[in-house]
């Protein structure tokens, strides 16, 4: 086989100033651990312990590591070289974990796409990450990812290789990968970027979030202590495994770090998850608020034994106190609110917090070294109890996105604080209450949608003169998306516009839930107003009209 070309790529970096590095090390947050390092150690120490259950498989720690090494060696034998980035798009199947561990083992860099993402998004990740390969499943939720792989390679030829879990068609099968273990590299630098996570994308397209071994491992090691995860725990992944919440808060990585068992639920609904909870005696699971309510409702009616559940975590979007009460009343286990972000900072209510704090706040930061500022529009700190912008920096919060100077200038202060875009109130105890956000994205049941991104796709339609996408409060989803559209000469049907957005190769959750045609974005303001103000006006007018109608 000819030698693969030496890749010319932007380096991946995530760096903290030296003084912070020294501080985080001295505090024992960063211990120089790496993914392959800790996984290998567990494979020895917990060799016969069940690590991963799902899709009919039941792997011990030794088996998981053997799978990871086989796949890692196979990927290198197929021409990938350490440092290559690999977009991974797999559902909640054991191979997701095996492939990701394999990438770490081979010093390849996973880029996590959600199963819901489609060509436009996957191609964006691949381009932005300069990915050399794509790993997908033959099929998941009735969607054939091999078709997506073909389109992806046509659009981004730098994606040289495709590996498929299941029937590979013209591509290579993950199941048949193999290669000499002697070709595997040693362990990486703990300060190196381990993977690229995807941002919620509040303005425009998603950004790539480089996370290091040291910082990410710290986040889930510390989470374990706050979420009650130890070697006896059984952690269920019910949300998409590629999401930061079920990955690291404490997530399946926290569980693997603890030598616990990970149970992968192929879907988040009670019909699928409840039998698994009963069979595996699941102790901890993380959900978004709408699912928590669905589970609370179903728990009252189910014949499945859910008594093993000790901690139900809810996060990704705001859980209002009334909903929190309902969840606690019907599920009977400890509730833990989780307010986190893929960029870093994660807040938890503590398991021994008074009920009132658990029901009404979104928790407080993991670490004493998480610096939290709540500031007014001019950057001046507000007093506790007042609402302000949440800024943060700390031992597991990034200082920069990958290759995005404009986003970095916008999202980070000169002294390295990340502007979360969230509006919060801080209590004297340090607990935060999320009161909204300063950026225009829609938080649809925990899935973040950029208004701007969807407006761009709507504007590409020949019969759309202008469009503004806003979030509308929704009883079930928390928020839904509503597109206000000024039509061109002819008014298209709403279904046609929805199909248009879907046809642009986007995740289904980004298709506007509602389309409202208007003649103009009539505004009383003189002169040009910002998109942000416009969206706020449209939302206010719409809600007012609804109130009048109801
Ligand atoms: C999690 O991560 P992302 O990156 O998908 O979204 C982060 C954003 C936050 O900035 C905030 O706007 C919102 O999601 N959010 C919440 C929340 N948890 C996240 N808003 C209100 N209440 C909450 N409990 O969503 C994420 C990452 C790690 C752990 C948990 C969630």
The predicted model gives 355-373 an average pLDDT of 98
Cα 538 to averaged position of ligand 1 atoms, centre (Å): 25
Structure confidence by residue, pLDDT tens digits, 335-351: 999 999 999 999 999 99
User: How far is the C-alpha of 531 from the C-alpha of 534, rounded, in Å?
Assistant: 5
- Give me the pLDDT at residue 208, please: 98
What's the longest Cα–Cα distance across the chain? 72
**362 CA: nearest ligand 1 atom:** 24
- Give me the pLDDT at residue 548, please: 85
Question: Smallest Cα–Cα separation from 242: which of 191, 206, 205, 290?
Answer: 206
Cα 433 to averaged position of ligand 1 atoms, centre (Å): 12
Walk me through the domains of the chain, giving residue ranges and CATH numbers.
Answer: 35-49+57-187 (3.40.50.980), 441-549 (3.30.300.30)
Minimum CA distance residue for ligand 1 atom 7: 341
The predicted model gives 428-439 an average pLDDT of 95
The predicted model gives 520-530 an average pLDDT of 70
What are residue 373's DSSP bridge partners? 391
Categorise residue 404: left if φ over 0, alpha if ψ from -120 to 50, beta otherwise: beta
- Give me the pLDDT at residue 4, please: 58
3-state SS of 202-259 is CCCCCCEEEEEHHHHHHHHHHHHHHHCCCCCCEEEECCCCCCHHHHHCCHHHHHHHHC
Cα 435 to averaged position of ligand 1 atoms, centre (Å): 13
What letter would DSSP give residue 418?
E
- Give me the pLDDT at residue 2, please: 57
Residues with CB under 6 A from ligand 1: 200, 244-245, 249, 315-318, 337-342, 346, 362, 420-422, 434, 437, 443, 446, 448
| Ligand 1 mutation pick, 113, 339, 436, max ligand atoms within 8 A of CB | 339
**286 CA: nearest ligand 1 atom:** 30
Specify the pTM.
0.96
Structure confidence by residue, pLDDT tens digits, 276-332: 999 999 999 999 999 999 999 999 999 999 999 999 999 999 999 999 999 999 999
131 neighbors 75 (Cβ within 8 angstroms) = no
- Give me the pLDDT at residue 530, please: 83
- Give me the pLDDT at residue 524, please: 56
Cα 340 to averaged position of ligand 1 atoms, centre (Å): 4
3-state SS of 333-345 is CEEEEEEEECCEE
The predicted model gives 238-244 an average pLDDT of 98
Minimum CA distance residue for ligand 1 atom 25: 316
Residue 526 has pLDDT above 60, yes or no: no
Length of the chain: 550
Q: Tell me the torsion sign for CA atoms 497, 501, 503, 509.
A: negative
């Amino acid at each position: 086989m000819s030698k693969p070309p030496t890749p010319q790529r932007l380096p991946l970096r995530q760096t903290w100033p030296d003084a912070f590095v020294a501080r985080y090390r001295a505090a024992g947050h960063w211990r120089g651990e790496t993914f392959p390092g800790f996984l290998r150690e567990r494979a020895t120490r917990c060799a016969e312990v069940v690590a991963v259950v799902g899709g009919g498989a039941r792997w011990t720690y030794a088996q998981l590591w053997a799978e990871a090494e086989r796949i890692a060696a196979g990927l290198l034998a197929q021409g990938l070289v350490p440092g290559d980035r690999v977009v991974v798009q797999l559902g909640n199947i054991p191979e997701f974990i095996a492939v990701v561990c394999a990438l770490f083992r081979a010093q390849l860099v996973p880029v996590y796409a959600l199963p819901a993402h489609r060509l436009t998004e996957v191609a964006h990740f691949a381009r932005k990450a300069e990915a050399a390969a794509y790993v997908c499943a033959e099929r998941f939720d009735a969607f054939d990812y091999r078709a997506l792989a073909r389109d992806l390679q046509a659009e981004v030829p730098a994606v040289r290789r495709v590996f498929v879990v299941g029937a590979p068609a013209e591509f290579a099968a993950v199941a048949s990968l193999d290669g000499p273990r002697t070709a595997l590299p040693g362990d990486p630098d703990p300060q190196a970027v381990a993977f690229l996570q995807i941002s919620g994308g509040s303005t425009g397209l998603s950004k790539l979030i480089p996370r290091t071994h040291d910082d990410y491992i710290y986040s889930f090691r510390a989470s374990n202590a706050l979420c009650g995860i130890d070697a006896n725990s059984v952690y269920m992944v019910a949300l998409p495994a590629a999401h930061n919440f079920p990955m690291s808060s404490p997530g399946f990585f926290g569980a693997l770090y603890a030598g616990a068992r990970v149970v992968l639920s192929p879907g988040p609904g009670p019909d699928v998850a409840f039998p698994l909870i009963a069979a595996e005696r699941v102790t901890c699971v993380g959900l978004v608020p709408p699912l928590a309510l669905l589970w609370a409702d179903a728990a009252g009616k189910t014949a499945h034994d859910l008594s093993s559940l000790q901690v139900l975590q809810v996060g990704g979007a705001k859980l209002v106190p009334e909903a929190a009460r309902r969840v606690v009343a019907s599920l009977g286990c400890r509730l833990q609110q989780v307010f986190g972000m893929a960029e870093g900072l994660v807040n938890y209510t503590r398991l021994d917090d008074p009920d009132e704090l658990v029901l009404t706040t979104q928790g407080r930061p993991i670490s004493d070294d998480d610096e939290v500022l709540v500031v007014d529009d001019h950057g001046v700190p507000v007093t506790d109890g007042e609402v302000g912008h949440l800024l943060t920096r700390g031992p597991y919060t990034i200082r920069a996105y990958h290759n995005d100077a404009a986003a970095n200038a916008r999202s980070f202060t000169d002294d390295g604080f990340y502007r979360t875009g969230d509006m919060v109130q801080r209590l004297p105890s340090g607990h935060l209450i999320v009161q909204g956000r300063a950026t225009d994205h829609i938080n649809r049941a925990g899935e973040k949608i950029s208004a701007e991104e969807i407006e761009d796709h709507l504007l590409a339609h020949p019969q759309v003169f202008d469009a503004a996408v806003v979030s509308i409060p929704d009883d079930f989803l928390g928020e839904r998306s509503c597109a206000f559209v000024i039509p061109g000469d002819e008014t298209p049907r709403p279904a046609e516009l929805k199909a248009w957005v879907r046809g642009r190769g986007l995740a289904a959750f980004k298709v506007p839930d509602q389309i409202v045609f208007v003649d103009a974005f009539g505004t009383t303001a003189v002169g040009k107003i910002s998109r942000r103000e416009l969206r706020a006006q449209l939302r206010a007018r719409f809600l007012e009209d609804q109130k009048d109608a109801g």
